[in-house]
Amino acid sequence: MPRLFIVCVIATLLTSTAAGAEPLEADDRGADIPEAAPAESAALPDDDSWQRIVFAALVGGGVRSRRIHLDVGNGTGGTEPRDFDTGAYFDFGWHLFIRPMGRRSPRPAIQAMVLQLDGGAGISLVVEPVGTGISLQTNTWRMVGQLGYLYPIGRWQVGGLAGIGGDVFKIDPNFVLPSWRIVYARLGPSGAVDLLGDFLMIRADFGLRFPFDLGRLENTFGRDTRAFGLDSTLTFQGRINAGFTYALRFVWEYFRYRFAGETDEVQAMGQGGRGDDHAVNLQLLVGWSL
């Protein structure tokens, strides 16, 4: 009888231990499930902000005005003014923006590299140099290509651009101003901020211009001609989901000229002096971005 009692007690203990182990294993399996949920929710959403735009091409036009004022030597020890004012005229414009590594690298430091091309043209303008009483046909072309870096910091993009630009001024033959071509190096900071997502981004650019080729201007008012330039651009840009993109740009451009020494040019228009050349431009551009 004692032996039977001992066997029953041992059987009861074994049964209780097995029953208690099953809920524990179930609890262990349940504890593993919540650990996988955070891993799945950690995937980043597809951000379609301006920082991921890899290509944008815009064309359009706007209103531009340009004024050139020169004080040049008259050969008798004095100076005489030379003024050229276009007034407001219609100007074509275009803008090309490429982020070549935007979708080829996961690293923001590499995605931040950009290429940019900007240009404009005013064709068949009829203007009258101040005080001459003659009407002259004038054409202007502008182009600047740049490499740059716009690093994303939250809603901001900060960096700068550097490149080569050209400004062509072509006018009918006259005795006031020559036609000329300015080729320059440009360097300056740039920054942008997303204000309303895709609907509105504001970007500001500022640049220094260092001309190294002044064309006919180099030997028309003096054999030693030097120039220095500045520019600034404020852009309000937006786009819709389909890719249609629009931009309103305000552009200011400035050159400062200095002429020294007597020139050997047969068609010289003056002997030394200085001058200013500035233009303002308001453009509306439309196009596509990816």
Encode pLDDT of 125-140 as tens digits. 888 887 777 889 999 9
203: which 2 tokens?
Answer: 């970007």
| Residue 137 shares a structural domain with residue 18 | no
| Residue 126 shares a structural domain with residue 252 | yes
Q: What are phi and psi of 121, to 5 degrees?
A: -155, 140
| Residue 27 shares a structural domain with residue 68 | no
| Residue 198 shares a structural domain with residue 105 | yes
| Residue 156 shares a structural domain with residue 252 | yes
Query: How big is the CA angle at 208 (ends 203 and 211), to the nearest 5 degrees?
Result: 135
Q: What's the number of domains the chain is made of?
A: 2
| Residue 84 shares a structural domain with residue 195 | yes
Stated pTM of the model:
0.80
| Residue 60 shares a structural domain with residue 36 | no
| Residue 145 shares a structural domain with residue 23 | no
Q: Is residue 50 part of a domain?
A: no
| Residue 253 shares a structural domain with residue 162 | yes
For residue range 15-50, list pLDDT tens digits in order: 444 444 444 344 444 444 444 444 333 333 344 466
For residue range 146-200, list pLDDT tens digits in order: 999 999 999 999 999 999 999 999 999 888 888 999 999 999 999 999 999 889 9
Q: Is residue 156 part of a domain?
A: yes
274 close to 224: Cβ distance less than 8 angstroms: no
For residue 10, give its domain range: 1-43
Q: Is residue 48 part of a domain?
A: no
Produce one character per residue of 16-50: b if its CB has 16 or more CB atoms within 10 Å, e if not: eeeeeeeeeeeeeeeeeeeeeeeeeeeeeeeeeeb
Q: Is residue 116 part of a domain?
A: yes
| Residue 99 shares a structural domain with residue 169 | yes
Q: Is residue 135 part of a domain?
A: yes
- Within 8 A by CB and 6+ apart from 140, the residues are 66, 121, 122, 125, 167, 168, 169, 170
| Residue 121 shares a structural domain with residue 216 | yes
For residue range 229-256, list pLDDT tens digits in order: 999 999 999 998 779 999 999 999 999 9
Which of 85, 81, 53, 93 lies closest to 67 in space, CA to CA?
85
Q: Is residue 49 part of a domain?
A: no
